[in-house]
C-alpha cells in the first residue's frame, strides 16, 4: 500500500515565515493522469528522501501538484526583473510552486519547487503549465551541469500530466520538480526596491544572509558583505560556464540566483563549433546574451542588485555608491582567478607563466577561424601530449590543420618548461575537459522521441551518459560527435 503524503520527508519552506507580500499562497491545480518519467534516486538519497515513496502513487501525486504533503502550503514567489534590459516591476512564479524544503545529508537546506504546476497570481494570463520538451531539456541539462561540477539547480523528478498544453500546437504537458539552495533572485531584491519597500528589502537581505552567507552577519557591514559574496559566487559561476562552452541564453536579472547556482534552463545550449558570438536563443535577436557577453552581462545584472542594496549599505548615498562600485570591481578579479586557472588546466599547464593567456587565446582564435569543436579540441589535446608537432588527432578537427600545427609548436615549447609534471598532466586534462556534454542535437533527439513516440529510452540513456562526463564509456562514442549539417540546432526556445 502506498505511503501517506505525510511520508514525503520534507517540510514547509522557511520562506513562508517571511511577510505575506513576499509570495502568494496558492491552491493546487490537479492534473488528469500524472505519470512518472524519471525519479532522480541519487539526488533523493542526498536529500534524505525515501525514493520508494517518491516512486509510489502518493509520491507522484505530490510531484504532479495533485496533493500537498501534510502541513505544507504551496507558495508562488514574488519578484521583478530586467528582461533584455527592460525593467518589469512584477514578474513572479507564474508557472511554479515552492512546495517545501528538504535537508541534505550535509545539513544543507534545499527548496523543492514544481515547475509547470499551473496558474498562480503571477501568471499574467498564461496557463502556468510546461510542455514535455522543456521539462526534459531542464532535466538533462541541469543534471549534466551538476555532473560537470558546476553549481546548479537540480532535477528531482519529471512527470507527464496526461493533459495537453497549447503553444504553436498542442504538446504533452509535464512538470519538473526542481531543487535549489533557494529561489531568491536578483529580481527578488528589485521587487521590493521598485516599491520603495525598505523594510521588505532589509527583511529579504537578512534572510539571504542567514540562508546563504551566514559569515556576512558578523561583518562590520553585513549588507556589503552580502553583495560581495553574491558577486564572487556569480563570477565563479559564469567562469565555469565559459570553460565548458555553456550559453545560458536568457541572463535576465530574474534568472540570476543569489546563491550562485545556475537557474532557469530555457533556451540554454552548449556550443559545438567555437565562436565567441554564438547565440542560440530565439528571443535574443541582438546577441545580448551571446557566449562572450556573459561575464559583462553578469556585472550589469550585479550592478542592478547593488542599486537595490544602496539604502542598506550606508546612510550617505555617496558612501553607499562608492562601496557598491568597489564591490563590483571585485568581479573581474574573482572571474579571472577561476577562468584563467581553468584555461591553464585545460591546456595541461600547472605553473603560471605570462605567455599562458596569450597561448590560450591563440588556440581559441584558431578554433573560431576553423569552426573547430570546442569540446572535442580540448578533450583531444590530452591525446596529443606525446605526438610530435604536425601529428596527432587534434589537428584533424581544424579545416586548416596548419593553423593548429603553428599553435601546437608554441604549446609544446610551453609544456617543456615544466617536464616534471608529465606523469600527471594527462590525468589532469582528462579530469577538466569533458568528453560528453548535452549536445543540442542529442537533446532534441531525446525530446522528439518522447513527444512524437512516447519513447523515453533515449532520454534515459542520455541522462546516464552525461552523469559521467569525464569518463571513457565504450559503446557511447556517438554522444561525442558534433552534429552533421542537417542535425544542427540553430535556435532554442524558452518553452513558456
Degrees to nearest 5, angle at CA 433 with 430 and 439:
130
Residue pLDDT, tens place only, 205-246: 999 999 999 999 999 999 999 999 999 999 999 999 999 999
450 found inside a domain = no
Domain shared by 124 and 199, yes or no: no
Domain boundary among 320, 340, 360: 340
Domain that holds residue 43: 5-183
Query: How high is the pLDDT of residue 7?
Result: 67
The catalytically annotated residue of 58, 93, 254, 272 is 254
Which segments in the chain show pLDDT lower than 50? Answer: 1-4
Tell me how many domains the chain contains.
2
Residue pLDDT, tens place only, 387-426: 887 788 999 999 999 999 999 999 999 999 998 888 899 9
Cβ burial of 104 (10 Å; 0-12, 13-18, 19+) is: middle
Mean pLDDT of the chain: 95
Query: How high is the pLDDT of residue 285?
Result: 87
Domain boundary among 278, 311, 340: 340
Domain shared by 124 and 240, yes or no: no
192 found inside a domain = yes
Query: How high is the pLDDT of residue 6?
Result: 65
Query: How high is the pLDDT of residue 494?
Result: 73
Domain shared by 66 and 79, yes or no: yes
Degrees to nearest 5, angle at CA 467 with 237 and 153:
40
Domain boundary among 299, 316, 340: 340
Domain shared by 49 and 191, yes or no: no
Domain shared by 29 and 122, yes or no: yes
Domain shared by 228 and 285, yes or no: yes
User: Is 254 among the catalytic positions?
Assistant: yes
Amino acid at each position: 500500500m502506498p505511503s501517506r503524503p505525510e511520508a514525503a520527508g520534507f517540510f514547509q519552506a522557511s520562506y513562508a515565515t517571511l511577510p505575506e507580500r513576499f509570495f502568494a499562497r496558492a491552491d493546487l491545480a490537479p492534473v488528469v493522469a500524472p505519470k512518472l518519467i524519471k525519479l532522480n534516486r541519487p539526488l533523493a538519497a542526498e536529500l534524505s528522501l525515501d525514493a520508494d515513496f517518491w516512486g509510489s502513487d502518493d509520491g507522484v501525486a505530490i510531484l504532479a501538484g495533485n496533493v500537498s504533503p501534510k502541513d505544507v502550503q504551496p507558495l508562488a514567489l514574488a519578484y521583478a526583473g530586467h528582461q533584455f534590459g527592460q525593467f518589469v516591476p512584477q514578474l513572479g512564479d507564474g508557472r511554479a510552486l515552492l512546495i517545501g524544503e528538504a535537508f541534505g545529508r550535509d545539513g544543507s537546506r534545499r527548496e523543492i519547487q514544481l515547475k509547470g504546476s499551473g496558474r498562480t497570481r503571477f501568471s499574467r494570463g498564461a496557463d502556468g503549465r510546461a510542455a514535455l520538451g522543456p521539462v526534459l531539456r531542464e532535466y538533462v541539462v541541469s543534471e549534466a551541469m551538476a555532473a560537470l561540477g558546476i553549481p546548479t539547480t537540480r532535477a528531482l523528478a519529471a512527470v507527464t500530466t496526461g493533459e495537453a498544453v497549447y503553444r504553436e500546437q498542442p504538446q504533452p504537458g509535464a512538470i519538473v520538480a526542481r531543487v535549489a539552495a533557494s529561489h531568491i533572485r536578483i529580481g527578488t531584491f528589485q521587487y521590493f526596491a521598485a516599491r520603495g519597500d525598505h523594510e521588505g528589502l532589509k527583511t529579504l537581505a537578512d534572510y539571504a544572509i542567514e540562508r546563504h552567507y551566514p559569515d556576512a552577519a558578523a561583518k562590520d557591514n553585513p549588507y556589503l558583505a552580502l553583495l560581495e559574496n553574491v558577486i564572487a559566487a556569480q563570477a565563479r559561476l559564469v567562469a565555469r560556464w565559459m570553460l565548458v562552452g555553456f550559453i545560458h541564453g536568457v541572463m535576465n536579472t530574474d534568472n540570476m540566483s543569489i546563491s550562485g547556482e545556475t537557474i532557469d534552463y530555457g533556451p540554454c545550449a552548449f556550443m559545438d563549433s567555437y565562436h565567441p558570438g554564438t547565440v542560440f536563443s530565439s528571443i535574443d535577436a541582438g546577441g545580448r546574451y551571446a557566449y562572450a557577453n556573459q561575464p559583462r552581462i553578469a556585472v550589469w545584472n550585479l550592478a542592478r542588485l547593488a542599486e537595490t542594496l544602496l539604502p542598506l549599505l550606508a546612510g550617505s548615498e555617496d558612501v553607499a555608491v562608492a562601496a557598491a562600485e568597489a564591490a563590483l570591481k571585485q568581479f573581474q578579479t574573482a572571474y579571472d582567478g577561476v577562468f584563467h586557472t581553468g584555461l591553464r588546466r585545460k591546456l595541461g599547464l600547472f605553473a603560471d607563466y605570462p605567455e599562458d593567456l596569450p597561448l590560450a587565446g591563440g588556440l581559441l582564435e584558431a578554433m573560431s577561424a576553423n569552426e573547430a569543436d570546442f569540446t572535442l579540441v580540448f578533450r583531444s589535446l590530452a591525446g596529443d601530449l606525446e605526438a610530435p608537432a604536425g601529428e596527432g588527432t587534434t589537428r584533424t578537427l581544424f579545416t586548416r590543420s596548419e593553423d593548429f600545427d603553428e599553435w601546437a609548436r608554441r604549446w609544446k615549447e610551453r609544456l617543456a618548461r615544466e617536464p616534471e609534471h608529465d606523469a600527471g598532466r594527462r590525468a589532469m586534462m582528462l579530469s577538466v575537459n569533458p568528453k560528453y556534454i548535452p549536445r543540442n542535437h542529442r537533446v532534441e533527439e531525446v525530446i522528439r522521441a518522447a513527444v512524437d513516440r512516447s519513447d523515453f529510452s533515449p532520454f534515459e540513456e542520455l541522462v546516464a551518459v552525461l552523469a559521467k562526463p569525464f569518463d571513457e564509456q565504450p559503446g557511447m562514442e556517438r554522444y561525442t560527435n558534433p552534429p552533421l549539417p542537417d542535425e544542427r540546432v540553430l535556435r532554442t526556445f524558452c518553452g513558456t
